[in-house]
Amino acid sequence: MLSAYHKQGKFNGTVLLAKGGKVLFEKGYGVADAGAKAPITPATEYRIGSMSKPFTAIVLLQLQEKGLLSLKDPLSKFIPDYPKGDSILVEHLLNHTSGVKSITSMKEYYATWMKEPATLVQTISHFKSEPLSFSPGTKFEYSNSNYILLSYIAEKASGKTLAQLVQTGVVQKLGLKATGLDQNNRASKHKALGYTASPEGDFVPARYTELSVLSGAGGMYATARDLYAWDRALYGTALLSEASKAQMFTPNKANYALGWEVRERGGRKEISHSGSIDGYVSNIIRFPEQDACIIFLSNYFESKGPQICKALTALLFDEPYELPKERKVIALSADVLNQYVGQYGMEGGPVLAVTLEEGKLKGKLGNQPAFEMLPEGETKFFVKQVDADVEFAKDESGKVTAITLKQGKAITFKRLP
């Protein structure tokens, strides 16, 4: 199954499956460094994006156990001038019920902030004055700003950097070999470089992300084996007391606990967290009642993480699963392709422009980058880099009347005059 995804350009990375305290499967696919043609090995280190959040949650709970803070403390205790900081509690930040706007939802983040080194104080200043989305504790809204604030709180309460707290509180306790807060200039021969797909679907280096901005919200790296050792430790009390673990794994709104998603799916309890950062996607899915675990790490942003993890879950429990559909490109004449060129729209939405350039049919939705539509039938096409389906509709006279894009859900655009 993983070979099929890899051969179709839908996966590059490492998968580890374990059950009953034993590793059942561990294998890497593709390259850690395309330029050097360095293959992925068991020692390959990946950025894990938001899978950093459970580590940050553990650090906060460890500080609570030491009496250095309480999850009931208001944000104003650590940042006295934070607007409405008296009503935002540490636990609201941990379970994403604070109402604080996510820095990664702000256009300035992608335009400027993600490219520039920053202290936590500087990063917090970017969203500090933004109005709250709702009264703290009343709703769920996933926000990276919450965990940037938690990173600052941990440092303020302990007098140590978050990197030091992760190192002493997790890495050293478990004897992990390659896990921690990453730095853009960190030297290691085992680093997996991050890749993405170009508009043409080629494997290209991902854009730069300054990790100091994300900190405990998404700035960590790890190996599959280290993450498995971490999974094993969460069954005992090496990191947290049973009381703290119970607190961490109790879901609040939208199935989100403290740094973890906790839900029932397929008759099984799942404790999980995924990650996504330029050039990398990741996931850890723990099945505590079956003592099983899936670890998924990829250094290719277009890897089909959710699809693959769904199939891995089925494989782990001997249930039916589907192999990825292989897409085969056929040749269509310029006359056939030309009939699709035009403008397509939907009420209240952006215009989808279809053009023919150098024999390639391309689409451009609003201000988004153009994408190539590859033919697999006379009216059926697909977009390689996002694994989306495209189908043109014709009326009884053979005139093209609409185009439907399907990526999870289907959206139809009608041809404009």
pLDDT score for 139: 98
What letter represents residue 185's amino acid? N
Cβ(89)–Cβ(72) under 8 Å?
Answer: yes
Q: What dotted CATH number matches 334-415?
A: 2.40.128.50
pLDDT (0 to 100) of residue 368: 85
Within 79-234, where are the H helices? 90-94, 107-111, 120-127, 144-158, 162-166, 172-174, 211-214, 224-233
Burial of 377 (0-12, 13-18, 19+ CB in 10 A): exposed
Q: How far, in Å, CA of 98 to CA of 87, rounded?
A: 9
Nearest Cα to Cα of residue 296 among 278, 309, 307, 311: 309
CA dihedral for 7, 10, 16, 19, sign (positive or negative): negative
pLDDT in tens, 63-103: 999 999 999 999 999 999 999 999 999 999 999 999 999 99
Please report the pLDDT score of residue 407 as a whole number: 83
Domain ranges in the chain are 2-316, 334-415
Residue 217 · residue 102 · CB < 8 Å? no
* Tokens, residue 25: 């499967």
- The reported pLDDT for the residue numbered 349 is 86
- Neighbour-count burial of 329, counting CB atoms closer than 10 A to its CB (0-12 exposed, 13-18 middle, 19+ buried): exposed
Assign 353 to helix, strand or coil: strand
pLDDT at residue 347 in the model: 85
Which candidate, 150, 50, 147, 142, places its Cα nearest to that of 96? 142
Nearest to 272 by CA among 305, 315, 242: 305
39-43 contact pairs (CB < 8 A, 24+): 40/12, 40/13, 40/14, 40/192, 40/299, 41/190, 42/14, 42/223, 42/224, 42/225, 43/177, 43/178, 43/190, 43/223
Q: How do 400-407 and 388-394 pair as beta strands?
A: antiparallel
Tell me the mean pLDDT per 10 residues along the chain, length 417: 94 98 97 96 97 98 98 98 98 98 96 96 98 98 98 98 98 98 95 90 92 97 98 98 98 98 96 98 98 98 95 97 89 95 91 94 89 94 85 95 91 95
Largest CA distance in the chain: 76
CA end-to-end span of the chain: 45
Topology classification of domain 2-316: Beta-lactamase (3.40.710)
Q: How far is CA 188 from the centre of its chain?
A: 23
Indicate yes or no: pTM above 0.75: yes
What pLDDT is recorded for position 363?
94
- Among 259, 240, 262, which Cα is nearest to 170's? 240
The pair of three-digit structure tokens given for residue 236, joined into one six-digit string = 């005992």
